[in-house]
Structure 1
Amino acid sequence: MFNVLLGMAVIIVVGIGWKSVLGQKSAETIRSHLAQSVYHIFLPALVLHVLWQFPVGLNTVRIPVVAVLSVSLALLAAFLLYGNGKLVRAFLPGKSNKAVGALLLASAFGNFSYLGLPVLSQTFGAWAQVVAIHFDLLASTPLLFTVGIILARYYGTSGEGMHPLVSLFRVPAIWAAIAGLILSAMAVSMPVWLDETLATLGAAVVPLMLLSVGMALRWQSGWMARIPVLLPVIMIQLLLMPLIAWAASIGVGMPADYLAPVVIEGAMPTMVLGLVICDRFKLDVALYAEAVTLTTALSLISLPLWLQAVS
């Protein structure tokens, strides 16, 4: 896994360097367009391609159950630590509920697609992409666009008046996942031309995601004062959540060859998409961005350790 993470780290660093060359404003515009292309075109193509070929069975249920337990219990732990705001006020005087909301999202929702897909596919093989897709799109994303949005509205501003479920079903990859599961369950054969088209589009997901992650990483001066507030996020994302995923996998009878990919998926750092949600609901975007940066950097150390532990 070290060589895999090293290769991905190089692409992330290229994204960081590209942002430095372009400048913050231009880089954010380009990153947004890259993310939108992945979100609307390349990721749905990959999801449809993978799930259409994957037989629907018990693992289609096991993996989302593990993901729901992992995200929900991580969110509960974060709420117990951050919910009353005392920890934030103790170390960051003047910070409001907007910081609490950002920290709750940062603690519970991992980068299950943007980093999970490349890590699992490069470490275990292309077949493991299905673990990331099931973990994220059949569990984490529905929780994000329901419970996560409700929390963001409560701690931030109301944002647009759209119902969370409406927001959920505006996610293109969700429809691709539903279509893929239905076509797989009905044993519909994939036309050769469509197979090749989806494979070509899906191949763009990993490098574009990694570039986008690199361009999204941010760090600001005065970070030492914020480390005590961010430490629980690190512990929950990189330690507690994979432990929950491991225990839940054993509890649901996860097959041995799926155990390591599921645990590694649970060990992903804070999701990049949360930056968009924090911005939309006026949460503390800078604090959230630091959580993404810190957990992503530390995951390059923690992920190989988790792989060694679970193998």
Structure 2
Amino acid sequence: MLTVMTQMGALIVAGVVWRLLRPGGLDADTARRVLTTLVYYLLLPALVLQVLWTAPLGLDSLRIALVAGTTVLAMVGVTLLACRACLAERGAVGAMLLAAAWPNATYLGLPVLDSLFGDAGRAVAIQYDLFACLPLLLTLGILLARHYGDPEAVRLYGGGGAIRGLAAVPSIWAAVLGVALNLAGLPLVTWLDTWLGFLADSVAPLMLFSLGLALVFDRFRGRDLRPLVMVSVIQLLIAPLFALGLVWWVGLEGVPGVGSVLEAAMPAMVLGLVFCDRFRLDTGLYAVAVTLTTALSLLTLPLWFAIAGHLVPGG
């Protein structure tokens, strides 16, 4: 695990260095938008299709989705309780909810599980995100952002319907197609498998590099200290502990069990910045939360890997 996290960290640091040096005059935000757009519309759907077409789907898939969805909902509740103690403003509360409840299940979770467990890890990461986290983000997450956001922003931009939001995600369509072909028992022909694999192999390094491009170090404010501590504790400690209990309760074993705990232990997702900007939540607080939890996760993820590997049956 130490070797994996060192490799992951090196790619993230490369993105940070690019943000600072701006090679060729290309700023980090522009580079990140180009890379994430490529991943979002082409590379990640190819990976999702390949994995879900060939992965074993069954009760473990339902258990992974149950662990993921229940953990997100529970952390929303925990964060709401924590926000009463930190006396944060509405915009900060909205940012804290998104940062603490939804893990970076794809942009960091997928590369980590892929490096640790190979194809089996990829399958867990994709199912954890697409079967639970992403649908909840595009429904409950948008509702929370609307509720705590600036009324003028809500009036101008709205939130979009849940079904409409899900239908606009290419990976959702790739997941539906992959599951359908899997359940129909249609084989993945060799040439298509090779082509999808060629695209899919680019996802992990580009995601990690893009994550580094998104990290910021110049937006910290003293009043953000308490909310940041709360977000970090909830996202990196309470969420994986809660998920570990669920994994035991539902009977997840081996890679699905350990992988689900690690997914719950991932730092705050980068995608939340889009919702903060759109609904005028506290974007600065959210950006620092992503940076801080990502940095801390390089220390906490090996810890949860060791704990889950010891406590999850077959881990």
Structure 2 length-normalised TM: 0.92
CA contact (8 A) 1:107 1:236 kept: yes
Q: Which of 257, 270, 273 is equivalent to 2:271?
A: 273
CA apart distance, 1:26: 2.3
**In the aligned structure 1, how far is the partner of 2:251 from the partner of 2:95?**
34
Q: Structure 1 residue 124 and structure 2 residue 117: aligned?
A: yes
Q: Which of 282, 288, 291 is equivalent to 1:290?
A: 288
Q: Structure 1 residue 80 and structure 2 residue 81: aligned?
A: yes
Aligned to 2:242: 244
Aligned to 2:313: none
Worse-matched range after superposition: 217-226 or 173-182: 217-226
CA contact (8 A) 1:45 1:202 kept: yes
* Count of residue correspondences: 303
**In the aligned structure 2, how far is the partner of 1:164 from the partner of 1:292?**
25
Letter aligned with residue 258 of structure 1: P
Task: Provide Cα deviations, 1:175-223, integer angstroms capped at 9, x if missing partner.
Answer: 1111111110011111222111110110110011001100000122554
Aligned to 1:92: none
Aligned to 2:102: 109
CA RMSD in angstroms comes to 1.6
CA contact (8 A) 2:220 2:285 kept: no
**In the aligned structure 2, how far is the partner of 1:143 from the partner of 1:175?**
16
Aligned to 1:258: 256
Task: Provide Cα deviations, 1:229-284, integer angstroms capped at 9, x if missing partner.
Answer: 21111111101111111111111111234221111111000001111111111111
Aligned to 1:209: 207
Letter aligned with residue 13 of structure 1: V
Aligned to 1:93: none
Q: Which of 144, 153, 157 is equivalent to 2:146?
A: 153
Aligned to 1:140: 133
CA contact (8 A) 2:219 2:284 kept: no
> SS at the partner of 2:27?
helix
**In the aligned structure 2, how far is the partner of 1:192 from the partner of 1:266?**
34
Q: Which runs of 5+ in 1 are unaligned?
A: 90-95
> SS at the partner of 1:305?
helix
**In the aligned structure 2, how far is the partner of 1:228 from the partner of 1:281?**
23
Q: Structure 1 residue 12 and structure 2 residue 5: aligned?
A: no
Letter aligned with residue 206 of structure 1: A
Aligned to 2:22: 22
Q: Which runs of 5+ in 2 are unaligned?
A: 310-315
CA contact (8 A) 1:241 1:266 kept: yes
Q: Structure 1 residue 299 and structure 2 residue 300: aligned?
A: no
